[in-house]
Amino acid sequence: MEGYKKGVKCSDCHSFDMDILSSRLFMCSDCGVVVGVENQIRDYFLHYTKIIPDEVYTRRDIQDHINIGLTEYTLQKVIKSNFRKLDNRERIYYFSP
């Protein structure tokens, strides 16, 4: 999708200005809504894969899509619970919540 802007955004006001409140929470710095990190990221990929199905991601792609600097620990957790490794391909994942 040309011109498509990646990143987790606020579901209330559509702002991309999401701050990391803790390892489990994001807060929208525009409207103050607080959401769970994992839910928000899962939602993002659920919607994205509806529009672009069958996409495979490197770890870097996943980070780019989320577009918020998660800690290594949180990123690992997100990948583990939402993605599966493609057969025989060490670093290629597909979304499978």
94 binds, among Zn ion, another protein, none (CB under 5 to 8 A by kind): none
- For another protein, the binding residues in 30-69 under the rule CB under 8 A are 47-48, 50-51
CB of 84 to another protein, least distance (A): 23
CB of 71 to another protein, least distance (A): 25
Which of 11, 23, 71, 81 touches another protein (CB under 8 A)?
A: 11
CB-based contacts of 36, cutoff 8 Å, min separation 6: 24, 25, 26
Per DSSP, which regions of the chain are E strands? 18-20, 25-28, 34-36, 56-58, 83-85, 92-95
Residue 68, interface with Zn ion (CB under 5 A)? no
Question: Of 27, 46, 26, nearest to 37 (Cα)?
Answer: 26
Instruction: Tokens for 77, please give them.
Output: 């957790």
- For Zn ion, the binding residues in 29-48 under the rule CB under 5 A are 30-31, 33
Q: What are phi and psi of 87, to 5 degrees?
A: -50, 135
Give the footprint of another protein on this chain (CB under 8 A): 1, 3-6, 9, 11, 14-16, 47-48, 50-51
